[in-house]
């Protein structure tokens, strides 16, 4: 007798497994100083939280996400829906993916921006994520639990519901979104990285936001830079060689942190 795993279970736990596997790959590449956006010394000195605390924080957020995902799948579908029903065409799947990407980006942009401009929310909630001044891969989901619920979990639920995708399609979408989010925080500018080629919202773009000069800019995540450009919160930057090896993001103009 074969052991079948439902699409709902895969949709819940595959992104979690992929998060740690993909982060682990970047952890193995961590010593590639010539491709780092910050030196290893800066990572150790500037970050305000230990990696042990980061791991515990991420696991807590993923636990909450898993519970919400199980509840969402329970309410909206069933285990046999994908197998029994007609398969959507590639055009339909592409439309669902793009819709989900736009919904997730829109939700996260406005929630993320509000958490920066509301002093109470920033001090007590969002500042936890910015304890990582020098981001690294497995710190991508290191957030206050409430922020994780509002930005990532609810944003993911809305993108799933409004796009109309099935639990099976959600496996691929949320796995892709997870890989993209980890990549944006990896702190490495590796040659041949396809995310850097296809997306302007990438590792360097998000690194700007984690620096003091860029904390009120580049709010968009994880896919496009659309809202930053439309609403004037886009910070242009250059990616320059750093003395001693590696790269450094620098703003192209003088900006005030206002």
pLDDT in tens, 78-119: 444 455 567 889 999 999 999 999 999 999 999 999 999 999
In a domain, 239, yes or no: no
In a domain, 140, yes or no: yes
Q: Using CA atoms, how far apart are residues 60 and 142, in angstroms rounded to an integer?
A: 9
- Please report the pLDDT score of residue 31 as a whole number: 83
In a domain, 46, yes or no: yes
What is the tens place of the pLDDT at every residue in 104-113?
Answer: 999 999 999 9
- The whole-chain average pLDDT of the chain stands at 91
Q: What is the mean pLDDT of residues 153-163?
A: 95
Location of structure tokens 């795993």 = 5
Domain count for the chain: 1
In a domain, 243, yes or no: no
Q: Is 109 exposed, middle or buried (0-12, 13-18, 19+ CB in 10 A)?
A: buried
Q: What is the mean pLDDT of residues 14-18?
A: 96
Q: What share of the chain is helix, strand, coil (3-state, %, to 5)?
A: 65, 5, 30
In a domain, 250, yes or no: no
Percent of the chain with pLDDT over 70: 93
Which residues span the domain enclosing 127?
7-190
- Please report the pLDDT score of residue 61 as a whole number: 94
What is the tens place of the pLDDT at every residue in 194-208?
Answer: 999 999 999 999 999
Question: Cβ neighbours of residue 182 under 8 Å, at least 6 residues apart?
Answer: 19, 22, 23, 26, 137, 138, 140
- Please report the pLDDT score of residue 114 as a whole number: 97
Q: What is the mean pLDDT of residues 170-195?
A: 96
What is the tens place of the pLDDT at every residue in 119-145?
Answer: 999 999 999 999 999 999 999 999 999
In a domain, 209, yes or no: no
In a domain, 256, yes or no: no
Phi-psi label, residue 245: left if phi above 0, alpha if psi -120 to 50, beta otherwise: left
β 237-241/247-251 pair status: antiparallel
In a domain, 225, yes or no: no
Is 77 a residue whose pLDDT tops 80? no
What is the tens place of the pLDDT at every residue in 35-60?
Answer: 999 999 999 999 999 999 999 999 99
Model pTM score = 0.92
């Amino acid at each position: 007798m074969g052991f079948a795993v439902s699409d709902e279970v895969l949709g819940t736990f595959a992104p979690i497994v992929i998060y740690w596997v993909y982060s682990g790959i970047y952890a193995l590449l961590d010593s590639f100083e010539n491709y780092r956006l910050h030196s290893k010394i800066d990572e150790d000195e500037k970050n305000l939280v230990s990696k042990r605390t980061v791991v515990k924080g991420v696991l807590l957020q993923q636990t909450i996400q898993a519970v919400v995902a199980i509840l969402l799948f329970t309410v909206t579908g069933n285990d046999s829906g994908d197998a029994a029903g007609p398969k959507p065409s590639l055009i339909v799947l592409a439309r669902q993916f793009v819709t989900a990407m736009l919904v997730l980006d829109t939700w996260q942009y406005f929630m993320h921006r509000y958490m920066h401009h509301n002093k109470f929310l920033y001090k007590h909630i969002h500042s936890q994520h910015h304890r990582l001044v020098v981001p690294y891969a497995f710190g991508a989901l290191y957030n206050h639990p409430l922020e994780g619920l509002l930005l990532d979990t609810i944003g993911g639920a809305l993108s799933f519901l409004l796009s109309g995708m099935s639990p099976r399609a959600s496996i691929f979408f949320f796995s892709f979104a997870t890989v993209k989010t980890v990549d944006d925080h990896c702190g490495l500018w590796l040659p041949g990285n396809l995310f850097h080629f296809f997306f302007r919202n990438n590792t360097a773009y998000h690194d700007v936001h984690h620096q003091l000069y860029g904390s009120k800019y580049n709010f968009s995540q994880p896919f496009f830079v659309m809202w930053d450009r439309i609403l004037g919160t886009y910070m242009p930057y250059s990616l320059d060689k750093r003395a001693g090896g590696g790269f450094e993001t620098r703003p192209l103009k003088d900006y005030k942190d206002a």
